[in-house]
Structure 1
Amino acid sequence: MTTAPVSRAGAPGPLVLRDARLLGVAEPRDVLLSGGLVSRVGPAGSIEAAGVPEFRLDGRYLAPGLWDAHVHFTQWVVRRERVDLAPAGSAAQAVAIMRAALPVSDADVVVGYGFRDALWTDAPTRAALDAIAPDRPIMLISGDLHCGWLNSAAGRHYGLDLPEDGVLRETEWIGALGVHDRGTQPNHEAYAAAARAAASRGVVGIVEFENQDNATIWPDRVAAGVDSLRVEGSVWPDRLDEAITRGRRTGDVLDEEGLVTFGRLKIVVDGSLNTRTAHCWAPYPGLDPADPDSYGVQSVTPERLVELLRTAHANGILPAVHAIGDQANTAVVDAFEALGIAGVVEHAQLVAEDDFARFGSLGLTASVQPEHAMDDRDVADRHWHGRTDRAFAFRSLHDAGATVHLGSDAPVAPLDPWIAISAAVSRSRDDRDAWHPEQNLPVDLALSASTRGRFTVAAEEVADLVVLDADPLTSPPDALRELHVAATLLGGRFTWNDLGDPR
């Protein structure tokens, strides 16, 4: 089928979608869109709209558009330019991949992305990278974005005092990556292409957690044509005072098209599982229990966390706090409880048994990434041995009363909600047995967790919609990963259209 042109941003004219099947509704419906809203929903053939363009969906399924609740968009855009290290099963294999990439790269710094060393039997060393590139900077970025492996030339290039193994973790690494990224920003067309690709998977909005001046950068991108998505742009603690001075509040609209809003304060209180820096109550295997570092990294003290939350809350800025280890999650829940406020806990990968109920009683939202459970199941079985019944525990969080949102943490997992939905529903991938299937989410809940609680299409709601060739409620979990999206509409205008021309 020929793909019809996609309209630019602006006030869309009225449009009728005929013979649509709404999720959970047996009989086909007609849907009238007008002024960016769903104006009317009625039985098939009941809406008369002379002169209004019509698209016949021919029984396709019409549903609310999808959100990705956790994205690092620049990292997602630039991943294509980086050497793919995902196949590396050892440090030696990662070095071999980089060696092969050196002759074909003309970059000043040759960057690889996607290594996961938590199960490697050998360790990264700076000497191994120096041996293949003694004078050319090389930077390898972990798949979870929480550590980097550099050679000596890269250390000199960035003015870094590298450790013997060349590996930087957490705060030191995030600072180094920020310096690199500021010098290698993609052009607007690269961002627009990535946004269109997301729209082709039914995405209408993202929550942006890139550590940058999102309140300025994203309106500029929209003005330059990156207009296929709604964006909630976070603010990090180093820009919190500036945001308060400017009077920014969560939910403020920041651009003329109404696509960009000011989001939440992003606070990172610990590290990650693959980097073994998630802050846990038990030490990591093989490490000295008497050494505080054996339990992971506490990036922000509980006192500082409460201070940041209090300041943000007093100024109308809502919080989103990264917590992966169970000790980190306890500290975050304690802080919310102490202040009597609600918020979003990003990741919530390992939760202490007593903390599930507190997620619910405090009205917290767990923003989770189901594909991480598939990527990390073997790592969790090794490094969180004996605790994985409460790891990536989406059903336990829901049953305790927490609101669950699904996302990708792109580029850590692909920016594709259907992958997240499939992983949440099945806890399986690559024909493996389901991992802790008691934590599966029912498909209707997984869908609602990807659409901000909207399950069906109703009048007076925003016309952010997705047209599907198959019913996701009855599709096998593996089929959900590849579910074909026929069209995506943002405020009633097509951002992806594989339906053809109106009739």
Structure 2
Amino acid sequence: MSTVTTAMTTTTTTAAPAPPVTLRRVHLGAGGPLSDVRIENGLVTAVFPAGDSPRADGQSLDLDGRTLLPGLWDSHVHMVQWAGTRRRLDVSGAGSARAAAEASGERAATLPPGEALIGYGFRDGLWPDAPHKHLLDAVVPDRPVLLISTDLHSAWLNSAGLALVDRGDHPTGLLREQECIDAMVKLPSASAESTDEWVRDACAAAAARGITGIVDFEYADNIADWTRRMDGASVPLRVAAAIWPAHLEAAISRGLRTGRPLDAPGGLLEVGPFKLLTDGSLNTRTALCHEAYPGSVPGEPGSHGLEELTLEELVSLLRRASSNGLVPAVHAIGDRANEMALDAFETVRCHGRIEHGQLLAPKEIPRFAELGVTVGIQPTHAVDDRDVADRHWAGRTHRAYAFADLLAAGALLELGSDAPVAPLDPWLTIASAVTRTADERPAWHPEQRIPVSDALAGSSQGRRLIRVGDRADLVVTEADPLIADARTLRDMPVYATMLAGAWTHGPS
């Protein structure tokens, strides 16, 4: 995540309105006119040409030609995982299973006796060797080790770790999909107080990058966790808390509906979408595809990926949720999974979201707009996964991460990070959508790049303009994104962030 050098001030966001402020000499939106903007009671109340605003009560801040944008959202986050990742061993740079094991051994030597070692970020889709418990046992025999893959769909454990999660009989130590989730749930966890503190720290870091809201898809009872978290202390973000199938009936019995505010200070917490999975992931080779994965035997279990739900089960869950006011958000990565998800939406005739939509058959692309299904995309995955996709989706990558084709077909795109799969940094997300590269290599499938203006809108819940009457959820940047070069866009210096008229980051 980029380093920000401006000073940070954390503001308690409660039901009490923030003091009024006039932002002077600021460009109103990317490429917008130099303006003065009046903010009162958490709303944008007036806009004037620069220098024409009347003298008014409250703070007056000269922004010296900086750019004022709608506050940014990350539409797909696993917040506890992201907060925890910031304190775990990073093995994302390991080029082999052996290298990841050796890094684990080095870190284990620094830990107190008996403490479990948890790491993250391994990507075995390109490794020359396979993860196995014996590799970890050889370097860390005396404490549990659990390494979580970068896509959160697999976990690699040593023998002590397997025993800790009641899987001591597992032959390899590499757990995938539901087995992986079950193992993570059984791990010793920090106290709720510690976890909440880590999450609040992560939220403050997100605010420093211009984030004013997130959709949290953490594998948890998010309604309960965020209600507790926001009752305990201020959080500098709006949060839409997703509901998983295990909590669906309880949510229905409580009358919860997507978008409905929950009882939290400042009205910052609302009911999010209903999340469910149709398949796995690319790196884990469990994304459900029409074609078999290289090296597999077509027709054998797992050769085409993993079907988490049948079409009938998916239709039943969509109907149950949508008929009770909960908007479905369906995880679908492979082309067969996306086709099934779209078929389910067409059968139920409800609005909703498909999360990821990474590999699409050309005939499916127009259906998103036709069915009113939003696509929650994570552009950084496109640049991070390019080598894995070239190997495992060879010959099909022209229709992978097809952001430009989706836009051209009229689909509504919402951008996110899927943190901790990618960093919770909206500028990294935006730059990845615009450039399709994260290094010195040429853009990967440059025909699928999207304009900066569309990437900004997709990161702002569709807001393209700042209007009188809008909520004063805003971000001030040092550079104009429309004219910034790729490096500046990626590392965008954020001067200040405002939530409901109160500063959550800066100004210095």
Q: Match of 2:404, as an amino acid?
A: R
Find the aligned partners of 2:492 and 2:6 in 1 and give their Cα distance: 19
Find the aligned partners of 2:84 and 2:281 in 1 and give their Cα distance: 22
Find the aligned partners of 2:479 and 2:378 in 1 and give their Cα distance: 24
1:5 correspondence with 2:1: no
Aligned to 1:455: 464
Which one is further off, 100-109 or 110-119? 100-109
Q: Match of 1:218, as an amino acid?
A: W
What is the SS of the residue equivalent to 1:114? Answer: strand
Which one is further off, 121-130 or 330-339? 121-130
**Which of 418, 440, 459 is the equivalent residue of 2:449?**
440
Which one is further off, 99-108 or 177-186? 177-186
* TM-fit CA distance, 1:25: 5.2
Asked whether the equivalents of residues 20 and 59 of structure 2 are also in contact (C-alpha less than 8 Å), the reply is yes
What is the SS of the residue equivalent to 2:75? Answer: strand
Aligned to 1:86: 92
Aligned to 1:98: 104
Find the aligned partners of 2:266 and 2:169 in 1 and give their Cα distance: 45
1:206 correspondence with 2:210: no
1:159 correspondence with 2:166: yes
1:325 correspondence with 2:313: no
* TM-fit CA distance, 1:117: 0.4
**Which of 148, 166, 176 is the equivalent residue of 2:183?**
176
Cα gap change, 1:370 to 1:2, in 2 (>3 Å): closer
Aligned to 1:313: 322
Aligned to 1:111: 118
* TM-fit CA distance, 1:126: 1.3
Aligned to 2:349: 340
**Which of 214, 238, 244 is the equivalent residue of 1:236?**
244
Find the aligned partners of 1:162 and 1:376 in 2 and give their Cα distance: 32
**Which of 493, 496, 506 is the equivalent residue of 1:484?**
493
Find the aligned partners of 1:470 and 1:19 in 2 and give their Cα distance: 14
Cα gap change, 1:183 to 1:26, in 2 (>3 Å): closer
What is the SS of the residue equivalent to 1:299? Answer: coil
* TM-fit CA distance, 1:103: 1.1
Find the aligned partners of 2:92 and 2:412 in 1 and give their Cα distance: 32
Asked whether the equivalents of residues 370 and 392 of structure 1 are also in contact (C-alpha less than 8 Å), the reply is yes
What is the SS of the residue equivalent to 1:430? Answer: coil
Q: Match of 2:183, as an amino acid?
A: A
1:67 correspondence with 2:73: yes
Cα gap change, 1:104 to 1:20, in 2 (>3 Å): same
Give the share of equivalent positions with the same residue, in percent. 47
Cα deviation per residue 1:54-102 (whole Å; 9 max; x = unaligned)? 1110111001010001000001101122111011100110111011111
Equivalences for residues 221-232 of structure 1 within 5 A: 221-232=229-240
Aligned residues: 499
Q: Match of 2:43, as an amino acid?
A: L
Find the aligned partners of 1:333 and 1:232 in 2 and give their Cα distance: 24
* TM-fit CA distance, 1:8: 1.2
Cα deviation per residue 1:190-216 (whole Å; 9 max; x = unaligned)? 222111100000000000000211112
* TM-fit CA distance, 1:290: 2.2
Q: Match of 2:271, as an amino acid?
A: F
Aligned to 1:57: 63
* TM-fit CA distance, 1:341: 1.5
Q: Match of 1:140, as an amino acid?
A: L
1:215 correspondence with 2:223: yes
Q: Match of 1:113, as an amino acid?
A: Y
Find the aligned partners of 2:415 and 2:401 in 1 and give their Cα distance: 12
Asked whether the equivalents of residues 159 and 168 of structure 2 are also in contact (C-alpha less than 8 Å), the reply is no
Asked whether the equivalents of residues 188 and 226 of structure 1 are also in contact (C-alpha less than 8 Å), the reply is no
What is the SS of the residue equivalent to 1:129? Answer: helix
Find the aligned partners of 1:6 and 1:78 in 2 and give their Cα distance: 21
Find the aligned partners of 1:4 and 1:47 in 2 and give their Cα distance: 28
Asked whether the equivalents of residues 195 and 226 of structure 1 are also in contact (C-alpha less than 8 Å), the reply is no
Which one is further off, 207-216 or 234-243? 207-216
Find the aligned partners of 1:143 and 1:209 in 2 and give their Cα distance: 16
Unaligned runs of 5+ in 1: none
Asked whether the equivalents of residues 30 and 69 of structure 2 are also in contact (C-alpha less than 8 Å), the reply is no
* TM-fit CA distance, 1:127: 1.3
Q: Match of 2:9, as an amino acid?
A: P
Q: Match of 1:270, as an amino acid?
A: D
* TM-fit CA distance, 1:49: 3.6
* TM-fit CA distance, 1:419: 0.3
* TM-fit CA distance, 1:115: 0.5
Indicate the RMSD between aligned Cα atoms, in angstroms: 1.4
**Which of 43, 48, 51 is the equivalent residue of 2:54?**
48
1:135 correspondence with 2:142: yes
- The two structures have a TM-score, normalised by structure 1, of 0.97
Find the aligned partners of 1:124 and 1:4 in 2 and give their Cα distance: 42
Q: Match of 1:64, as an amino acid?
A: P
Cα deviation per residue 1:345-402 (whole Å; 9 max; x = unaligned)? 0000001111001112111111000000111000000000000000011111111111
Cα deviation per residue 1:189-246 (whole Å; 9 max; x = unaligned)? 3222111100000000000000211112112212222411000000000100000011
Unaligned runs of 5+ in 2: none
Aligned to 1:253: 261
* TM-fit CA distance, 1:118: 0.2
Asked whether the equivalents of residues 79 and 218 of structure 2 are also in contact (C-alpha less than 8 Å), the reply is yes
Aligned to 1:192: 200
Find the aligned partners of 2:282 and 2:178 in 1 and give their Cα distance: 16
Cα deviation per residue 1:289-330 (whole Å; 9 max; x = unaligned)? 121310001111111111110000111111100000000000
Aligned to 2:386: 377
Aligned to 1:150: 157
What is the SS of the residue equivalent to 1:293? Answer: coil
Find the aligned partners of 1:276 and 1:226 in 2 and give their Cα distance: 40
Asked whether the equivalents of residues 90 and 122 of structure 1 are also in contact (C-alpha less than 8 Å), the reply is yes
Find the aligned partners of 2:290 and 2:355 in 1 and give their Cα distance: 19
* TM-fit CA distance, 1:45: 2.2
Find the aligned partners of 1:435 and 1:212 in 2 and give their Cα distance: 35
Asked whether the equivalents of residues 30 and 480 of structure 2 are also in contact (C-alpha less than 8 Å), the reply is no
1:39 correspondence with 2:24: no
Cα deviation per residue 1:254-304 (whole Å; 9 max; x = unaligned)? 113200000110001100000000000000001001213100011111111
1:471 correspondence with 2:480: yes
Find the aligned partners of 1:2 and 1:365 in 2 and give their Cα distance: 36
